[in-house]
Amino acid sequence: MIEQLEALGALRSSGTMGRAAAVLRITQSAVSKRIAALEVIVGVKLVQRHGRLVRLTPDAERLLDEARPLLASLREVLRVRSPEREQALRVAATDSLLASWLPATLQSARARLPALKLELHAHRGPMLLARVRSGDYALGLCPAMAGDKDLRVRELVQEPMVIVPAHLAPLERVSTVPVWAIETQSLTWEAIASRVARARRLVGFGIEVQARLESFTALVQVARAGFANALVPIGVARDLGVPLERLVRLPGISRPIAAVARKSTFELPAVRALLAELTVAWPSFVMPTR
């Protein structure tokens, strides 16, 4: 039953059987079979096809909403009762973190915790939160401001945001700097939007978003090519080889990187140990002195 509900939840989040299969790391036919089996169990139609897209029926939406907290609690019970030596901590992180400084930070923490086994997954922010909320992952590492009735948030570090100038040329000092930024649905934008709006007071000039992309890596490359200035986290810019002296610092504009989990998960010894190590393992470029 758990696998069938997971398949239905993945389908709701992704919109197609193919994307749901990629999320679950199974075949598309396996997703279809799991949902068909669930329809037999509950006795109602759960999906409707609309071209290539698949939409959930109202019965399916109600089923998932009612089952989500129960499934998450069941996974938590099983996780706590599993022998610790056999546990692998399932951790999800956003693409921008895993594409920059987070892997080295996690490796540094693991070096101090040799018994800890980490199973890493990468997701975009909204999907990550949904899967931590459902209990698919024990812990999420992502930009986050506040929790909700299902999730708790513990801030770990503030990562500065910077402007990568077009062509990496010195930025002309004007009253308002045009930039390209990350999509509005991202957790980073949710965390920094109000600060960007107050940029004139915080950094001495306004910031005007003229276009958006879905990837920080793409934003850095767009700036390198000269399309536009790009607003990105400093870790992404540095890991893509942008010299620190070329970056425009933005005092007061940073994104909070947090651990996100269900309340009971934070009490697990493996989680407590990992978070304790992470607080001292951040690489120097998260908050560089130069």
pLDDT in tens, 240-250: 999 999 999 99
Rg (CA), the chain: 21
- 8-17, 132-141, 201-210: the lowest-pLDDT one: 8-17
- 28-32, 63-67, 75-79, 197-201: the lowest-pLDDT one: 75-79
Name the CATH code of domain 1-81 (choices 1.10.10.10, 3.40.50.720, 3.30.70.270, 3.30.565.10).
Answer: 1.10.10.10
- 10-14, 149-153, 187-191: the lowest-pLDDT one: 10-14
Q: What is the pLDDT of residue 168?
A: 96
Is the model's pLDDT at 156 over the cut of 60?
A: yes
Q: What is the pLDDT of residue 140?
A: 95
Among candidate residues 103, 125, 106, 284, the one with its CA nearest the CA of residue 216: 125
Domain positions in the chain: 1-81, 158-256
Mean per-residue pLDDT, 133-148: 85
Q: What is the pLDDT of residue 81?
A: 53
Is the model's pLDDT at 4 over the cut of 90?
A: no
d(C-alpha 277, C-alpha 209), whole Å: 37
- 76-85, 95-104, 168-177, 221-230: the lowest-pLDDT one: 76-85
Report percent pLDDT > 70 for the chain: 89
For residues 280 and 276, the model is more confident at 276
Q: What is the pLDDT of residue 72?
A: 66
Is the model's pLDDT at 157 over the cut of 80?
A: yes
Tell me the fold of 158-256: D-Maltodextrin-Binding Protein; domain 2 (3.40.190)
Confidence of residue 85 (pLDDT cuts 50, 70, 90): very low
Is the model's pLDDT at 78 over the cut of 80?
A: no
- Report pTM: 0.71
Is the model's pLDDT at 288 over the cut of 70?
A: no
Domains 1-81 and 158-256 share a fold: no
